[in-house]
Structure 1
Amino acid sequence: MERMRIAVAGASGLIGSALVRSLTSDGHEVRRLVRHEPRSADEVRWDPEKGRLDPAGLAGCEVVVNLAGAGVGDRRWTDEYKRRIHDSRVHGTAALATALASLDPAPRVFVNGSAMGLYGETGDRIVDEDSPAGTGFLPELCVEWEAAAAPARDAGVRTVLTRTGLVVARGGGAWGKLFPLFSAGLGGRMGDGRQYWSYIALHDEVAAIRHLIDRDDLSGPFNLTAPEPLTNREITAAMGRVLHRPTLFPVPAPVLRTVLGEMAGDVLGSARVVPRRLLESGFVFAFPGIEDAIRAA
C-alpha cells in the first residue's frame, strides 16, 4: 500500500473523524486543518469563514479532503446562522481550491464535500447526478459551494464533489438525534411519513470517499447515498424493529415547523436521491439496507 500525505478539513466532525481514523489505521499521514493555534505538527491553522489559509501548510499533500462547515442541523436557522453555514462552506472551499491551484506540485485529488440538499424537494421523482439543482436556501448554497471548488479543477487538480445523504450514525447528524428518541420509545414518523429519505451508513460514507480518492479516473459529482431511498414511514418502522421499541408518536408537521423553523423543510421535504455514478464506478455498499445501516450504527 502506498503511504500518502492527506489533508482533511472538518476532521473533528462526524464524517471527518471517522475518515481520519480509517486513513491513519492504514498508515497514511493525515494533516488536520484546524481553527485554533496548532498544537502538534499534524495541524494546519485556517479560518474557513474568512477564507484564510496559507498554502504552505498543504505542501506535499497528495490528497485534500474538505468536509468543513457549520452544522446544518445544529441549531435553528437565524439569518446570522445561515450566513455562518454559507461562509464556512463557500469561503472555506474557495480558500482551499485557490491554495491548491498555487501549489507545485499540486495534489492529485481534491475531494470537496457537498450535500444531496442540492436537489431540493424531489417528491417521488428519482434524481441522480445529472438532475438539476432545486430552489431554496440549501440547493442554492450547494450550487455555490460546489462552484467554489473551480480554481482547483481549472488548475488541473482532479476534483470530486461528494453529495452526501443522511448519515446513519449514533455520534452526530440527523441520526444522532433520532437514536435517543427511538431508544426511549418516543420515536415516530415525521409529518405524513411519505417523504423520501436518502441515507448512507457511516462506514459506507467513509469507504466511498476512499474509493473516490483511490480511483484516478473519477471526478465531478457523486451522490453518497444508499442505492434505494426509503420513505420516512419505512425508516421509522425499521428503527422500531431494530431497536425493539414502539413507534407510536408521530410528530405533526406544524410542530416541526414551530420547533425547527425553516429547517423543518428539510425534515418534511422529500429527496429520492440515488448513487448512479458511484454504482457505475464499481463501488459495493457494505450496508445498503436500512436495517443493516441501523445495526452498523
Structure 2
Amino acid sequence: MKIVITGGTGLIGRHLAPRLLSLGHEITVVTRNPERARSLLDPRISLWKGLYDQASLDGFDAVINLAGEPIADRRWNTAQKERLCQSRWQITEQLVALFKASARPPAILISGSATGYYGDLGEVVVTEEEPPHNEFTHKLCARWEQIACQAQGDQTRVCLLRTGVVLAPKGGILGKLLPLFRIGFGGPSGSGRQYLPWIHIDDMVNAIIWLLDNDLRGPFNMVAPYPVRNEQFAHALGHALKRPALVRAPAFAIRALMGESSVLVLGGQRALPKRLEASGFGFRWYDLEEALQDVLDQTSSR
C-alpha cells in the first residue's frame, strides 16, 4: 500500500512507520518540520511539508491521521484549549477535503481520537456504545471524529482510534513518570481508584495494521483488555523498577498544579476493546507488569 501518515514523528508514528516499511508499504509522512523528521525517520520515507501543496490523494491507498498537540504537556487555558482543538480539527478537515477532491480516494482513513471521548465515567465499564460525559475532552474528540467521518463514502471507510495511555520507550506517560519513580518518589495520584486504560505500543501498532487489512469501520477502543486502577499502575511500575511506589500525590496538589487538565490524571475510563476483540484481533500484552517490564527493557537497551 501507499500510505500517508500525519503525526509520523509522534509517539505512535515513530513505531508505526518502520513497521509498515518492514511489511513492504510505501510511506509518506506529513510534517511541519522536515529537517527534524528526516533526523528521526527512515530515509526511505517520503516527506510532505504540510498538505497545502497537495491537490488530491489520488494514488494513495490509506491515510493514518495521528497529528495533534500533546494534550497533557501544558496547563489548559482558553488559548491552549483552542490549540489542542485546532491542531486536530484543522489537519483532519484538510485531509477530508483532499479525499473529496480525489477521483479515486484512498480506501481507508484511520483517524485519531482518545478514550477521553467518554469523559470521566468512574466505575462504568466503557465500550464503544457507552454514552459520554459532556466534558472538554469529549467535545474535542467528538468534533475530531465528526470531521473524520465526513471522508466516509462508497470508496472509503473510516476507523476511529479511541486510544488510552500508550506504554512505549522514550515518551508518553512513562517519559513523565520514570524520573520520579526511579528515585523513589513515585506513587498513586489522588485516590488512586480511578481507572487507567492502557495499551502496549506493539499492540497499538498491530491493531492499526489490523484495521488497515480488514474491512472494518467506526470507533475502536485502543486499550488492553484489562484496565487497571491508578494505584495498581503505580504499584506495577514501582515493582518493575524495584522501587517503592508509596509517595501519593494529593488530589488538591494536582488540581493546583494542572488546573482543569487535572481530569487527565484524577479521572479515567474503565474502557474495554470490545469491537477490536469481536473482530478477531489478538492482543499480545494482557498483563500490565509484563508489558511494563518489556517497555522498560527496551528503554534500557536504547
2:249 maps to a residue whose letter is: V
1:95 maps to a residue whose letter is: Q
**Structure 1 residue 236, shift from structure 2 partner:** 1.0
SS class of match (1:181): helix
Structure 2 residue runs of 5 or longer lacking an equivalent are: 296-302
SS class of match (1:287): coil
Instruction: Give the Cα separation in 1 of the matches to 2:34 and 2:188.
Output: 44
Contact 2:187–2:247, Cα closer than 8 Å, also in 1:
yes
Contact 1:197–1:232, Cα closer than 8 Å, also in 2:
yes
- TM-score normalised over the length of structure 1: 0.93
SS class of match (1:112): strand
**Structure 1 residue 37, shift from structure 2 partner:** 6.2
| Matching of residues 231-242 of structure 1 within 5 Å | 231-242=229-240
1:146 maps to a residue whose letter is: E
Q: RMSD in angstroms over aligned alpha carbons?
A: 1.6
| Matching of residues 80-229 of structure 1 within 5 Å | 80-154=79-153, 156-215=155-214, 217-229=215-227
Instruction: Give the Cα separation in 2 of the matches to 1:5 and 1:246.
Output: 47
SS class of match (1:55): coil
Instruction: Give the Cα separation in 2 of the matches to 1:198 and 1:101.
Output: 35
Instruction: Give the Cα separation in 2 of the matches to 1:30 and 1:165.
Output: 25
1:46 maps to a residue whose letter is: G
Contact 2:106–2:155, Cα closer than 8 Å, also in 1:
no
Show the counterpart of 1:54: 54
Please tell me whether residue 22 in structure 1 is matched to residue 19 in structure 2: yes
Contact 1:208–1:283, Cα closer than 8 Å, also in 2:
yes
1:172 maps to a residue whose letter is: G
Please tell me whether residue 282 in structure 1 is matched to residue 280 in structure 2: yes
Contact 2:189–2:249, Cα closer than 8 Å, also in 1:
yes
Give CA-to-partner distance per residue, 1:234-255, whole Å, 9 cap, x none. 1111111111100121000011
- TM-score normalised over the length of structure 2: 0.91
How many residues end up aligned between the 2 structures?
A: 288
**Structure 1 residue 53, shift from structure 2 partner:** 6.0
Instruction: Give the Cα separation in 1 of the matches to 2:206 and 2:280.
Output: 12
Identity of aligned residues (%): 40
Show the counterpart of 1:255: 253
Instruction: Give the Cα separation in 2 of the matches to 1:155 and 1:68.
Output: 25
Contact 1:53–1:95, Cα closer than 8 Å, also in 2:
no
Moved more, 147-156 or 75-84: 147-156
Show the counterpart of 2:3: 6
Structure 1 residue runs of 5 or longer lacking an equivalent are: none
